[in-house]
């Protein structure tokens, strides 16, 4: 096979811009005449705004407006598009969660707006509210399918789980809990809105998807979609919270309209707790039975998760149990509980991260009860086909991941032997990782310019995973050019439409579209050459033309892309293509899989846990760029460490307010928390998943990690922690 | 108030509020947007700059405290070619989304300039004040160690 550019571990092409500080993020776009917006937020979790004193703020020099529900421009439409998050945009006096926007100060300067915001006094009328799951669990309800991931139904049953449990030689019936978490990308949410006339809007937004932002703004301001343009060239991380446009995006546009100036609105770090979503709390009951050989006889996974009073977000935690193990008798269910909190949202590996913790902990508990190697137990119920959908997997290399992970890690199971080293308790654990392979409609445009370079565009965004780089690689191969003669651009709603960067689908969707557009352009150029009287290739058969480095060769004669374009008049030659899932794809169950192995050290006196070594082996289809993929998997695995040991959004349950509202109180992993992280791949060739053969690797790294760590902590200490994070108090 | 700052080698005279954050002067007044804001509270290191050679979080520095001082930002580290440390970040994959990167590089450069041995411990200590939500840190530590080997 010809060596390709795709798959090569190239350094990221946006690296230069990022290491010099030249890369401009959404808050850094320079717009002349821009004014600054700063939000004021609610204190109470539920109630009404009685009055807002704005006089002091308004008197400050440079303040252009203090926008409150009283004087805010009325939006023509307050409904959000389907499957989008409900927002609070100063249209009424209701307070539906703490830290909700209640006023917006707009001023000439940032410090002016910050100062004036402190002078705004909000009088609230509090109503009874609760953020405690136990207060409302009696009202748990079955969510609508559309709020469930992938529009799947909330419940699913196969066989007879009750009987499977009765007949089991060993049973585990335990409840696991995962806490509220907050994404905390390092770049705060930022929106700059510019009206170019009364009905034309341009927005620079820190978002994971420009088309979703465009749709929501167009709807709420009753504008034709084409009148709204959204741009995002660099995003400083997203992880889900920048997946749907939140209140501040609409408010920036509203304020810009109201004051008649472009407005830049950047959230403060404390404002990112609540207003822009977070992972909901889950409580999951696992009832698992197995026979003496460790083969599962029943698997029941019931999950309850929290949502707001006014919107449904379902964390599909039990879904992972539908695809993981061969088992005749299975039941999964999801219920929602409404609390006086802001609406949660997708956070890195929604469902799989939380559900995987419960499932993979329960499997470990079962293995321990059976005195079995937990890896052997997993192999005893290895799913050769999807156990719920009765479909074959498009590809599944989990067995190889287990074997390779065990070998790399040096996995040797000897029941439970609490080991000590340097006064520390040492433990090992493992767990399975998995994440669905999503593929959505995407379009790309490939254009050959007269200088023989190509410009390929698709309106995806690059959250840091490397979209700029890998799409350039794919495009170069598809067209037949070296990397340095291809430019890939993204992040603009005027470009061909691409899905939002979430659910690990950008590489699969966008690369497929780029591949098809690139090939179409190449074929078109060949067709033009062989039909062109001025071409040395005139009369050649298109299928005998070989292409390399922008040159076409047949029968010893050559022509170049550049010359074809020039002879045709010099206007760029272009082709557009669309990729998307077809009927044939539905025949397959499509997932990435992996296995993680971990060694932990636990301080017996302080209860402090350290991850000494974390080895993960993942099979995610074709890897477009191993250097970037490894880096992303490492990041995911470290998120798993954070989830296992540190991260928790803590509410003051009396007042319904988040207490951990900055990076000092909300612990994201720091250097000291990370020792040896080793991600590896098993390459897969999967012709069913999508044209690019990619399953996506943005999320799988975090799945299974927390369970592997909890299992290792149990191995070290004999203590089973079923509620994350595993903080020292839970071990002492 | 009018004050003078030496920024990336050139003297700038500015009319500013004395308590304005140095971070905002850099980003909003001087359009040196390479310095980032991650938290505004001294917790993340995204806003790190060198103030008379000392590593500081510019979100915690009032501009009047920097009067007469020399400030070096990410834009001032390299002229036309990348520094060895910047090259290492590109090569070793020390940057993903890139928001923490300028602060990491400024902190890393400060460490390299100190001449200390680039052991794992020492490098981690040097960037203990910098958070990254994307890379998981390993590649950042590697980038700094790689640059240390290249330059010494
Ligand atoms: S912005 Fe200054 S330390 Fe985070
Ligand atoms: S690369 Fe995104 S925060 Fe470090």
The pLDDT score that the predictor gives to residue A673 is 86
- Measure CB to CB from residue A237 to each of B39, B124, B133 and give the nearest one: B133
Same domain, B71 and B89: no
Among residues A124, A365, A443, A699, the one annotated as catalytic is: A699
Q: Residue A32 burial (CB < 10 Å; 0-12/13-18/19+)? A: exposed
The C-alpha atoms of residue A682 and residue A690 are separated, in whole angstroms, by 18
User: Domain holding A50: CATH number?
Assistant: 3.90.1170.50
Q: Which residues of B touch A187 (CB under 8 A)?
A: 36, 38, 97, 99
CA distance B107 to chain A (A): 13
Same domain, A294 and A414: yes
Question: Looking at the DSSP assignment, which residues form a beta bridge with residue A305?
Answer: A282, A336
- pLDDT > 90? residue A421: no
Q: Look at residues A580, A604, A624 and tell me which one is the last residue of a structural domain.
A: A580
Sign of CA dihedral A587, A591, A592, A594: negative
The pLDDT score that the predictor gives to residue A248 is 98
How many Cα neighbours within 13 Å face the side chain of A244? 21
Q: Look at residues B47, B76, B105 and tell me which one is the last residue of a structural domain.
A: B76
Same domain, A525 and A617: no
Q: How far is CA A710 from CA A95, A359, A379, A673, B70, in A?
A: 39, 12, 20, 16, 49
Residue with more model confidence, A457 or A502: A457
Contact present, A501 and A208 (Cβ < 8 Å): yes
Q: What is the mean pLDDT of residues A216-222?
A: 98
The pLDDT score that the predictor gives to residue A674 is 84
Same domain, B71 and B134: no
Q: For chain A, what is the mean pLDDT?
A: 95
The finding on whether B35 has its CB within 6 A of some atom of ligand 1 is: no
* A 200-259 → B contacts, CB under 8 A: 234-237, 239
* Domain that residue A570 falls in: 440-580
The reply to whether A25 touches chain B by the CB within 8 Å rule is yes
User: Domain holding A471: CATH number?
Assistant: 3.30.365.10
| Confidence band of A1 (pLDDT split at 50, 70, 90) | very low
Cβ-Cβ contacts under 8 Å for A719 (sequence gap 6 or more): A713, A730, A731
The finding on whether B37 has its CB within 6 A of some atom of ligand 1 is: yes
pTM score = 0.96
- pLDDT > 80? residue A149: no
Is residue A170 in a domain? yes
Q: What is the mean pLDDT of residues A360-382?
A: 97
Sign of CA dihedral A389, A390, A395, A401: positive
| Confidence band of A583 (pLDDT split at 50, 70, 90) | very high
Site to substitute for ligand 2 among B46, B108, B134, B143, most atoms within 8 A of C-beta: B134
The finding on whether B137 has its CB within 6 A of some atom of ligand 2 is: no
The C-alpha atoms of residue A177 and residue A281 are separated, in whole angstroms, by 7
In tens, the pLDDT along B75-97 reads 999 888 999 999 999 999 999 99
User: Domain holding B131: CATH number?
Assistant: 1.10.150.120
The pLDDT score that the predictor gives to residue A148 is 45
Chain position carrying tokens 């445009």? A445
CA distance B68 to chain A (A): 22
The SS3 assignment for B72 reads strand
Is residue A26 in a domain? no
Chain position carrying tokens 């959908």? A389
- pLDDT > 50? residue A392: yes
| Confidence band of A306 (pLDDT split at 50, 70, 90) | very high
Same domain, A497 and A570: yes
Q: Look at residues A525, A548, A580 and tell me which one is the last residue of a structural domain.
A: A580
User: Cβ B39–A662 below 8 Å, yes or no?
Assistant: yes
* B 101-140 → A contacts, CB under 8 A: 101-102, 105, 124, 127-128, 130-139
Tell me how far the alpha carbon of residue B128 is from its chain's centroid: 13
- Rounded to 10°, the helix B101-114/B84-92 angle is 130
For residue B63, what are its two tokens?
Answer: 């501009």
The finding on whether B132 has its CB within 6 A of some atom of ligand 2 is: yes
Q: How far is CA A552 from CA A2, A482, A483, A563, B64, in A?
A: 16, 14, 17, 11, 64
What would you report as the CA-atom Rg of chain B, rounded to the nearest whole angstrom?
15
Contact present, A454 and A528 (Cβ < 8 Å): no
Same domain, A120 and A141: no
Measured CA angle at A393 (ends A391, A395), to 5 deg: 160
Question: Looking at the DSSP assignment, which residues form a beta bridge with residue A334?
Answer: A303
In tens, the pLDDT along A241-299 reads 999 999 999 999 999 999 999 999 999 999 999 999 999 999 999 999 999 999 999 99
Same domain, B42 and B107: no
In tens, the pLDDT along A137-147 reads 999 999 987 65
User: Domain holding B72: CATH number?
Assistant: 3.10.20.30
Same domain, A611 and A647: yes
Same domain, A423 and A338: yes
Is residue A348 in a domain? yes
Task: Let me know if A699 is a catalytic residue.
Answer: yes
Same domain, B68 and B88: no
In tens, the pLDDT along A588-647 reads 999 999 999 999 999 999 999 999 999 999 999 999 999 999 999 999 999 999 999 999
3-state secondary structure A210-246: HHHHHHHHHHHCCCCHHHEEEECCCCCCCCCCCCCCC
Is residue A647 in a domain? yes
| Confidence band of A417 (pLDDT split at 50, 70, 90) | low
- pLDDT > 80? residue B114: yes
Nearest CA in chain A to B101: A19
Contact present, A249 and A213 (Cβ < 8 Å): yes
Chain position carrying tokens 């790309």? A444
* Domain that residue B37 falls in: 2-76
In tens, the pLDDT along A109-138 reads 999 999 999 999 999 999 999 999 999 999
In tens, the pLDDT along A551-567 reads 999 999 999 999 999 99
In tens, the pLDDT along A190-211 reads 999 999 999 999 999 999 999 9
CB pairs under 8 A between A and B: 162
The finding on whether A237 has its CB within 6 A of some atom of ligand 2 is: yes
Q: What residue's CA is closest to ligand 1, atom 3?
A: B42
A290 φ/ψ sector (left φ>0, alpha ψ -120 to 50, else beta): beta
Q: What residue's CA is closest to ligand 2, atom 4?
A: B132
* B 54-83 → A contacts, CB under 8 A: 73-75, 78, 82
- Measure CB to CB from residue A663 to each of B31, B101, B131 and give the nearest one: B131
User: Cβ B90–A15 below 8 Å, yes or no?
Assistant: yes
The pLDDT score that the predictor gives to residue A445 is 98
The C-alpha atoms of residue A419 and residue B51 are separated, in whole angstroms, by 49
Sheet holding B48-51, edge to edge: B10-15, B2-7, B70-72, B48-51, B54-57
The residue among A636, A63, A46, A710 whose CA lies nearest residue A427 is A710
The pLDDT score that the predictor gives to residue B80 is 83
Contact present, A201 and A193 (Cβ < 8 Å): yes
Q: Look at residues B40, B57, B76 and tell me which one is the last residue of a structural domain.
A: B76
- pLDDT > 70? residue A416: no
The C-alpha atoms of residue A509 and residue A85 are separated, in whole angstroms, by 23
Number of domains comprising chain A: 3
The reply to whether B100 touches chain A by the CB within 8 Å rule is yes
- Measure CB to CB from residue A674 to each of B24, B133, B137 and give the nearest one: B137
The residue among A345, A538, B126 whose CA lies nearest residue B141 is B126
The C-alpha atoms of residue A234 and residue A232 are separated, in whole angstroms, by 6
Same domain, A531 and A639: no
Is residue A17 in a domain? no
Number of domains comprising chain B: 2
Q: Look at residues B46, B76, B106 and tell me which one is the last residue of a structural domain.
A: B76
For residue A406, what are its two tokens?
Answer: 């065990």
Measured in angstroms, how far is the CA atom of residue B47 from the centroid of ligand 1?
A: 5
Same domain, B11 and B37: yes
| Confidence band of B152 (pLDDT split at 50, 70, 90) | confident
- pLDDT > 50? residue B58: yes
Contact present, A518 and A485 (Cβ < 8 Å): no
In tens, the pLDDT along A7-53 reads 999 999 999 999 999 999 999 999 999 999 999 999 999 999 999 99
Sheet holding A282-290, edge to edge: A156-158, A330-338, A296-307, A282-290, A170-178
Same domain, B91 and B143: yes
Same domain, A197 and A77: yes
H or E element: which one contains A527? Answer: helix A506-530
Same domain, A612 and A681: yes
Same domain, B88 and B145: yes
Cβ-Cβ contacts under 8 Å for B16 (sequence gap 6 or more): B1, B3, B25, B29, B63
The finding on whether B134 has its CB within 6 A of some atom of ligand 2 is: yes
Q: How many residues does chain B have?
A: 152
Sign of CA dihedral A373, A374, A380, A384: negative
For residue A450, what are its two tokens?
Answer: 């007269």
Contact present, A105 and A113 (Cβ < 8 Å): yes
Q: How many residues does chain A have?
A: 732
φ, ψ at A447 (rounded to 5°): -135, 130
């Amino acid at each position: 096979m010809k060596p390709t550019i795709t798959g090569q571990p190239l350094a990221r092409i946006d690296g230069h811009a990022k290491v010099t500080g030249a890369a401009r993020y959404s808050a850094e776009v320079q717009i002349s005449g821009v004014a600054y917006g700063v939000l004021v937020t609610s204190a109470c979790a539920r109630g009404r705004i009685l009055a807002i004193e704005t006089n002091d703020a308004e008197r400050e020099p440079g303040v252009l407006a203090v926008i409150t529900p009283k004087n805010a421009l009325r939006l023509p439409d307050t409904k959000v598009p389907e499957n989008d998050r409900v927002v609070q945009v100063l249209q009424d006096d209701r307070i539906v969660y703490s830290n909700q926007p209640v006023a917006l100060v707009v001023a000439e300067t940032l410090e002016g707006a910050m100062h004036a915001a402190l002078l705004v006094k909000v009088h609230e009328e509090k109503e009874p509210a609760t953020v405690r799951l136990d207060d409302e669990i009696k009202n748990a309800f079955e969510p609508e399918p559309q709020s469930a991931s992938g529009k799947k139904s909330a419940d699913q049953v196969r066989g007879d789980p009750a009987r499977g449990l009765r007949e089991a030689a060993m049973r585990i019936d335990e409840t696991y809990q995962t806490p509220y978490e907050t994404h905390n990308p390092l770049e705060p949410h930022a929106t700059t809105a510019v009206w170019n006339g009364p009905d034309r809007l341009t927005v620079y937004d820190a978002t994971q998807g420009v088309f979703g932002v465009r749709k929501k703004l167009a709807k709420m301001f009753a504008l034709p979609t084409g009148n709204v343009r959204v741009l995002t060239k660099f995003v400083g991380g997203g992880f889900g919270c920048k997946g749907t446009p939140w209140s501040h995006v609409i408010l920036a546009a509203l304020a810009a309209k109201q004051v008649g100036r472009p407005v830049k609105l950047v959230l403060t770090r404390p404002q990112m707790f609540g207003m822009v979503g977070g992972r909901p709390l889950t409580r999951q009951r696992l009832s698992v039975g197995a026979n003496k050989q460790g083969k599962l006889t029943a698997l029941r996974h019931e999950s309850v998760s929290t949502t707001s009073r006014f919107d449904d977000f379902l964390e599909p935690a039990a879904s992972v149990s539908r695809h993981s193990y061969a088992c005749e008798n299975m039941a999964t269910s999801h219920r929602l509980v409404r609390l006086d909190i802001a609406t949660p949202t997708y956070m890195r590996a929604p469902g799989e991260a939380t559900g995987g913790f419960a499932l993979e902990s329960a499997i470990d508990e079962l293995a321990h009860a059976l005195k079995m190697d937990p890896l052997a137990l997993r192999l005893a119920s290895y799913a050769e086909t999807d156990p719920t959908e009765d479909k074959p997997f498009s590809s599944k290399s989990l067995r190889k991941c287990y074997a390779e992970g065990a070998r790399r890690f040096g996995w040797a199971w000897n029941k439970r032997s609490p080991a000590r080293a340097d006064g520390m308790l040492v433990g090992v654990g493992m767990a399975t990782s998995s994440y669905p392979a999503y593929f959505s409609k995407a379009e790309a445009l490939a254009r050959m310019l007269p200088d023989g370079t190509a410009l390929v565009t698709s309106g995806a965004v690059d959250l840091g995973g490397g979209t700029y780089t890998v799409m350039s690689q794919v495009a170069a191969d598809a067209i037949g050019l070296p990397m340095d003669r291809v430019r890939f651009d993204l992040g603009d709603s005027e470009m061909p439409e691409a899905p939002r960067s979430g659910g690990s689908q950008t590489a699969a969707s966008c690369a497929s579209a780029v591949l098809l557009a690139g090939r179409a352009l190449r074929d078109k150029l060949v067709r033009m050459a062989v039909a062109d009287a001025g071409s040395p290739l005139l009369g050649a058969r298109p299928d005998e033309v070989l292409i390399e480095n922008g040159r076409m060769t047949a029968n010893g004669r050559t022509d170049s892309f550049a010359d074809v374009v020039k002879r045709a008049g010099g206007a760029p030659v272009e082709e557009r293509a669309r990729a998307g899932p077809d009927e044939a794809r539905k025949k397959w169950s499509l997932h990435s899989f992996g296995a993680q192995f971990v060694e932990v050290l636990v301080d017996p006196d302080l209860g402090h846990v350290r991850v000494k070594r974390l080895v993960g082996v993942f099979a995610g289809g074709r890897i477009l760029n191993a250097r970037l993929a490894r880096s992303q998997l490492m990041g995911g695995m470290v998120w798993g460490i954070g989830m296992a040991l540190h991260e928790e959004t803590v509410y003051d349950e009396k007042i319904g307010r988040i207490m951990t509202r900055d990076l000092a109180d909300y612990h994201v992993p720091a250097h000291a928390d990370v020792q040896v992280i080793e991600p590896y791949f098993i390459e897969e060739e999967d012709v069913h998943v999508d044209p690019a053969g990619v399953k996506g690797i943005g999320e799988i790294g975090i799945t299974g990690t927390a369970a592997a760590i909890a299992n290792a902590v149990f191995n070290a200490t004999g203590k089973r922690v079923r509620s994350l994070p595993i903080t020292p108090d839970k071990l002492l | 108030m009018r004050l003078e700052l030496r920024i990336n080698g050139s003297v700038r005279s500015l009319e500013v509020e004395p308590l304005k954050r140095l971070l905002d002067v850099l980003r909003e007044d001087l359009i040196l947007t390479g310095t980032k804001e991650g938290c505004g509270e001294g917790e993340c290191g995204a806003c790190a700059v060198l103030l008379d050679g000392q590593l500081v979080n510019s979100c915690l520095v009032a501009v009047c405290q920097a009067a007469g001082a020399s400030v070096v930002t990410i834009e001032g580290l390299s002229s036309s070619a990348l520094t060895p440390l910047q090259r290492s970040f590109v090569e070793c994959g020390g940057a993903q989304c890139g928001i923490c990167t300028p602060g990491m590089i400024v902190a890393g450069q400060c460490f390299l300039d100190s001449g200390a041995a680039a052991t794992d411990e020492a490098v981690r200590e040097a960037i203990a004040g910098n958070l990254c939500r994307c890379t998981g840190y390993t590649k950042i530590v590697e980038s700094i160690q790689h640059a240390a080997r290249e330059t010494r």
